[in-house]
Structure 1
Amino acid sequence: MPVTIDADEAQRAALARAHELVSVGSLRADLLVTSWKRDGIKVSGRLQAQIVQSCIVTLEPIDATVDEEVSALFLPEGSKLALPDALENGEILLDAAGPDSPEIFSGDTIDVGKLAEEFFSLGIDPYPRKSGASLQAGAEGGEEKRGPLFEKLQALRKKL
Structure 2
Amino acid sequence: MSTPELSRVFDVRQVEGKAARIEANEAERQALAERFTLVRVDSLVADLELHRNDRTVEAHGRLKAEFVQSCAVSGEDLPVSADEPLYFRFVPEMTGYQPDEEIELTADDCDEVEYSGSHFDLGEAVAQSLGLVIDPYLTGPQADAARKAAGIGTPEDQGPFAALKGLKLGKD
The residue that corresponds to 1:146 in the other structure is none
The residue that corresponds to 1:119 in the other structure is 129
The aligned runs of 1:13-32 (5 Å cut-off) are 13-32=30-49
C-alpha contact 1:41 1:75 (8 A) present in aligned 2: yes
Q: For the residues of structure 1 that align with 2:59 and 2:74, how far apart are their CA atoms?
A: 39
**Matched length:** 130
Q: 1:91: how far off?
A: 4.9
Q: For the residues of structure 2 that align with 1:121 and 1:93, how far apart are their CA atoms?
A: 27
TM-score between the two structures when normalised by the length of structure 1: 0.70
| SS of equivalent residue, structure 1 residue 110 | strand
Q: 1:92: how far off?
A: 4.1
Q: For the residues of structure 2 that align with 1:120 and 1:77, how far apart are their CA atoms?
A: 24
The residue that corresponds to 2:67 in the other structure is 51
C-alpha contact 2:74 2:142 (8 A) present in aligned 1: no
Q: For the residues of structure 2 that align with 1:139 and 1:57, how far apart are their CA atoms?
A: 12
Distance 1:138 1:62, change over 3 A: closer
- Structure 2 stretches lacking a partner, 5+ long: 1-17, 153-172
Q: Which has the higher contact order (CA 8 A, sep 6+)?
A: 2
C-alpha contact 1:67 1:123 (8 A) present in aligned 2: no
Which of 110, 134, 157 is residue 120 of structure 2 equivalent to?
A: 110
Is 1:3–2:20 an aligned residue pair? Answer: yes
Aligned Cα RMSD in Å? 2.7
Q: For the residues of structure 2 that align with 1:74 and 1:55, how far apart are their CA atoms?
A: 35
The aligned runs of 1:60-99 (5 Å cut-off) are 60-77=76-93, 91-94=102-105, 98-99=107-108
Q: 1:101: how far off?
A: 4.7
Q: For the residues of structure 2 that align with 1:60 and 1:138, how far apart are their CA atoms?
A: 15
| SS of equivalent residue, structure 2 residue 43 | strand
The residue that corresponds to 1:41 in the other structure is 57
Larger radius of gyration: 1
C-alpha contact 1:68 1:120 (8 A) present in aligned 2: no
List structure 1 runs of 4+ shifted beyond 6 angstroms.
none
TM-score between the two structures when normalised by the length of structure 2: 0.66
